[in-house]
């Protein structure tokens, strides 16, 4: 919404600044005006100097004519004294020498070549002689150039002063208001919606400021409504995600062979961690702990797809390796976002304690036997949806009555305090030892408290999901039945 306004109010880095544009524009206008004025000035000054030369010649001819009468000797005498200009001359020409009177009209000024120089000339005729007055053209051009230079310098000075005045006016009334508004619009575009424009240098900018302020208020109103709507939608999504995993405990109060408790806490409104447990048949319980590679809504959607795929495939029968092999190919199809999910899947035969598990890139499970906790480490295969065609393998073990299994996501071990230290596997084992004699719910709650105490108010950036399971085995009365 603000990109168009920013483009109007701000020139990007590849362009020159508004101030430079204005300066260059004023300079270009002044140069064009000065060139035109110079041309006009040259024409006018040349014409004026030519008229002045004509008048000087007329005056000289008239003065000589009045003094000499018809005497050629007097004419020669006064011609030496009276001159039309400092470099001009009055000449007495004998008519018998054949002056081309027909070529040059009497009383009109014309160009005349004399002693290899060009002159402006005018003459009057007497009976025996001609009185001519001449002025060198070079002098007229010289005087014209001098006057033109004076006029040009004066114009330059006047227009320079005018340009400075115009620039100062525009800077105060145009540039500075635009620059101020640009800075505030940039602040708004960066997310500061508390900015208010108060430009009152002229009516137009005042109206523009008011319009922008109205836009900001409208945007704040729309953002607030959108945020409220998004909060409601995320709250609904969180409820849906919460309802998608088992959340009523104890989940199977009629079964005495085991106890189980799980808890999921997302870093955002919705997350990518999930757990699940369900009966494959009356004697086999499946437990799932998983973590999607991303966070937020994309991870939540992929989490729902992964959870449903694992449960649906497990209900068809097969070992954990066979289940994850098929689910991996299913999740790879249409995975345009390139998400993946780490999964620990175990199927426990409750009558015997036999457990078959498969680990697809997930954290090592913790086993407690005889009040001693340890991480059960063995080679992992890649996460699901990482690449198709991966053949997953099983690991088989046996649980004895009283054995506990604690599975979790990396949000537990990766939890960090203010100093940047991580909770780690050592911190997890120590926390589990504190709750070694507790039931599953107390164990999960105790580990959660230890993590919170360790973080000491630091922000949490990852989802935290845990599941505790105690195998009790079949009682004798159950076996008798």
- CA distances 91 to 82, 122, 142, Å, are 10, 10, 23
Percent of the chain with pLDDT over 70: 74
In this structure, are 300 and 154 located in the same domain?
no
Q: Which domain holds residue 364?
A: 247-475
Query: Does residue 10 surpass a pLDDT of 50?
Result: no
In this structure, is residue 192 part of a structural domain? Answer: no
d(CA 95, CA 129) in angstroms, rounded, equals: 5
Buried-exposed string 272-305: b where 16+ CB fall within 10 A, e elsewhere: bbbbbbbebeeebbbbbbbbbbbbbbebbbbbbb
In this prediction, residue 154 carries a pLDDT of: 77
Q: What is the DSSP string of 201-227?
A: SSHHHHHHHHHHHHHHHHHHHHHHHHH
Better-scored residue on pLDDT, 289 or 132: 289
Better-scored residue on pLDDT, 468 or 57: 468
Q: Residue with structure tokens 């290899």?
A: 116
In this structure, are 148 and 28 located in the same domain?
yes
In this structure, is residue 240 part of a structural domain? Answer: no
* pLDDT confidence tier of residue 215, bands split at 50, 70 and 90: confident
In this prediction, residue 258 carries a pLDDT of: 96
Size of the chain in residues: 481
In this structure, are 367 and 456 located in the same domain?
yes
Q: Which of 51-55, 130-134, 242-246, 368-372 has the lowest mean pLDDT?
A: 51-55
Number of domains in the chain: 2
Enter the pTM of the model.
Answer: 0.60
Among the candidates 160, 179, 198, a domain finishes at: 179
* pLDDT confidence tier of residue 35, bands split at 50, 70 and 90: confident
The stretch 432-459 carries a mean pLDDT of 90
In this structure, is residue 372 part of a structural domain? Answer: yes
In this structure, is residue 295 part of a structural domain? Answer: yes
In this structure, is residue 236 part of a structural domain? Answer: no
Percent of the chain with pLDDT over 90: 39
Please, what is the end-to-end C-alpha distance for the chain in angstroms?
A: 72
β-pair type (404-408, 129-136): unpaired
In this prediction, residue 99 carries a pLDDT of: 61
The mean of the pLDDT values for the chain is: 80
In this structure, is residue 441 part of a structural domain? Answer: yes
The stretch 382-395 carries a mean pLDDT of 95
Cβ atoms 291, 362 nearer than 8 A: yes
Query: Does residue 375 surpass a pLDDT of 90?
Result: yes
The stretch 285-307 carries a mean pLDDT of 90
Of 26-35, 180-189, 215-224, which one has max mean pLDDT? 215-224
In this prediction, residue 171 carries a pLDDT of: 73
The stretch 399-412 carries a mean pLDDT of 95
Among the candidates 137, 157, 179, a domain finishes at: 179
In this structure, are 16 and 125 located in the same domain?
yes
* pLDDT confidence tier of residue 445, bands split at 50, 70 and 90: very high
Burial of 344 (0-12, 13-18, 19+ CB in 10 A): buried
Query: Does residue 16 surpass a pLDDT of 60?
Result: no
Better-scored residue on pLDDT, 164 or 426: 426
In this prediction, residue 474 carries a pLDDT of: 79
Closest Cα to residue 376, out of 387, 368, 388, 385? 368
For the stretch 315-365, pLDDT in tens is 999 999 999 999 999 999 989 889 999 999 999 999 999 999 999 999 999
- CA distances 238 to 115, 245, 432, Å, are 111, 11, 29
Better-scored residue on pLDDT, 101 or 2: 101
In this structure, are 295 and 409 located in the same domain?
yes
Of 41-55, 105-119, 211-225, 228-242, which one has max mean pLDDT? 211-225
């Amino acid at each position: 919404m603000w990109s168009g306004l920013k483009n109007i109010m701000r020139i990007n880095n590849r362009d020159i600044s508004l101030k430079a544009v204005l300066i260059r524009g004023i300079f270009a206008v002044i140069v064009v005006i000065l060139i035109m004025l110079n041309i006009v000035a040259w024409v006018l000054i040349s014409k004026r100097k030519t008229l002045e030369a004509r008048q000087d010649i007329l005056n000289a001819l008239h003065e000589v004519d009045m003094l000499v009468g018809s005497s050629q000797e007097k004419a020669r005498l006064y011609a030496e004294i009276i001159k039309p200009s400092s470099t001009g001359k009055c000449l007495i020409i004998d008519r018998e020498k054949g002056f081309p009177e027909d070529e040059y009209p009497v009383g009109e000024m014309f160009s005349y070549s004399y002693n290899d120089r060009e002159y402006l000339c005018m003459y009057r005729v007497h009976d025996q002689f001609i009185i001519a007055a001449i002025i060198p053209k070079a002098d007229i051009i010289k005087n014209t150039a001098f006057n033109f230079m004076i006029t040009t310098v004066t114009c330059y000075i006047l227009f320079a002063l005018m340009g400075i005045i115009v620039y100062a006016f525009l800077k105060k009334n145009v540039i500075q208001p635009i620059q101020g508004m640009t800075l505030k619009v940039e602040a708004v575009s960066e997310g500061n919606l508390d900015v208010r424009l108060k430009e009152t240098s002229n009516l137009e900018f005042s109206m523009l400021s008011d319009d922008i302020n109205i836009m900001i208020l409208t945007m704040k109103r729309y953002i607030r409504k959108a945020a409220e709507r998004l909060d409601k939608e995320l709250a609904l999504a969180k409820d849906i995600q919460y309802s998608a995993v088992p959340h009523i405990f104890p989940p199977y109060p009629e079964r005495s062979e085991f106890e189980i408790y799980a808890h999921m806490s997302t870093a955002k409104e919705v997350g990518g961690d999930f757990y699940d447990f369900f009966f494959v048949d009356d004697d086999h319980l499946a437990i799932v702990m998983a973590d999607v590679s991303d966070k937020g809504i994309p991870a939540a959607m992929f989490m729902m797809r992964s959870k449903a795929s694992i449960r649906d495939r497990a209900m068809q029968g097969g070992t954990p390796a066979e289940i994850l092999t098929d689910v991996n190919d299913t999740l790879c199809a249409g995975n345009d976002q390139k998400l993946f999910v780490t999964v620990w899947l175990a199927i426990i035969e409750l009558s015997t304690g036999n457990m078959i598990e498969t680990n697809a890139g997930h954290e090592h499970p913790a086993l407690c036997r005889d009040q001693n906790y340890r991480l059960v480490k063995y080679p992992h295969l890649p996460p699901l949806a990482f690449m198709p065609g991966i053949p997953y393998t099983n690991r088989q073990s046996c649980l004895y009555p009283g054995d506990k299994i604690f599975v979790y996501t990396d949000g537990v071990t990766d939890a960090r305090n203010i100093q940047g230290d991580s909770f780690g596997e050592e911190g997890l084992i120590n926390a589990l030892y504190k709750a070694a004699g507790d039931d599953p719910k107390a164990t999960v709650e105790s580990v959660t408290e230890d993590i919170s105490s360790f973080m000491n108010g630091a922000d949490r950036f990852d989802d935290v999901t845990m599941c505790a399971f105690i195998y009790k085995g079949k009682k004798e009365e159950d076996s008798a039945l």
